[in-house]
Homo-oligomer: A and B are copies of this chain.
Amino acid sequence: MPSPLTISLDAMGGDAGPEMVIPGAAVALKRRPDLRFILYGQSEAVEPLLARYPDLVAASRFVHCEISVRMDDKPSQALRLGRWKSSMWRCVQAVRDGEADVAVSAGNTGALMAMSKFCLRTLPDIDRPAIAAMWPTLRGESVVLDVGATIGSDAKMLVHFAVMGAAMARALFGLERPTVGLLNIGAEEVKGVEEVREAGHILRAIDHPNFEYYGFVEGDDLGKGTVDVVVTEGFSGNIALKTAEGTARQLAEYLRSAMTRTLSAKIGYFFARSAFARLREKMDPRKVNGGLFLGLNGLVVKSHGGTDSEGFAAAIELGRDMVLGSLTSKIANDLEYTLGSMRKQFAEQTAAQAQTA
Q: In the assembly, what is the distance between CA of A269 and CA of B218, in Å?
A: 33
On chain B, the residues within 8 Å of A278 by CB distance are 258, 261
Closest to A73 in B: B188
Q: A126 at the A/B interface (Cβ < 8 Å)?
A: no
Contact present for A264 and B271 (CB under 8 Å)? yes
With A220-B243, A243-B223 already in contact, the answer to whether A238 and B189 are too (CB < 8 A) is no
Q: Does A268 touch B at the CB level, under 8 Å?
A: yes
Chain A interface residue count: which class? 35 or more
Query: Which of B111, B243, B253 touches A138 (beta carbons < 8 Å)?
Result: B253
State whether the Cβ of A325 lies closer than 8 Å to any Cβ in chain B: no
A74 at the interface (CB under 8 A from B): yes
Do the beta carbons of B137 and A250 come within 8 Å of each other?
yes
Does any Cβ of B come within 8 Å of A275's Cβ? yes
Q: Which residue of B has the minimal Cβ distance to A245? A: B220
Q: Mark A263-290, 1 if CB is under 8 A from B, else 0.
A: 0110111111111101100110000000
- Are A282 and B261 in contact, with the CB atoms below 8 A? no
| B219 and A246 within 8 A (CB) | yes
Looking at A190, A222, A234, A273, the one whose CB has the most chain B CB atoms below 10 A away is: A190
**What per-residue 1/0 map shows which CB atoms of A173-191 lie under 8 Å from chain B?**
0000000000101111110
State the main secondary structure of chain A at its contact with B: helix
List residues of A (207-257) whose CB comes within 8 Å of B's CBs.
218-224, 232, 234-236, 238-251, 253-255
A347 within 8 A of B: no
* Beta-carbon contact of B251 and A224 below 8 Å: no
Closest Cβ–Cβ distance, residue A130 to chain B (whole Å): 12
B residues in contact with A33, CB < 8 Å = none
Q: Are A239 and B239 in contact (CB under 8 A)?
A: yes
Question: Within 8 Å CB of A186, what residues of B?
Answer: 238
Flag if B272 contacts A259 (CB, 8 Å). Answer: yes
Q: Which residues of A contact B (CB under 8 A)?
A: 72, 74-75, 108-111, 113-114, 137-138, 148-149, 151-152, 183, 185-190, 192-193, 218-224, 232, 234-236, 238-251, 253-255, 258-259, 261-262, 264-265, 267-276, 278-279, 282-283
Please list 20 pairs of residues, one from A and one from B, whose beta carbons are closer than 8 Å in the complex, sorted by A's number.
Answer: A74-B188, A75-B188, A109-B188, A187-B238, A218-B238, A219-B239, A220-B249, A221-B246, A223-B246, A223-B247, A232-B239, A239-B239, A244-B246, A259-B275, A265-B272, A265-B274, A268-B268, A268-B269, A268-B270, A272-B272
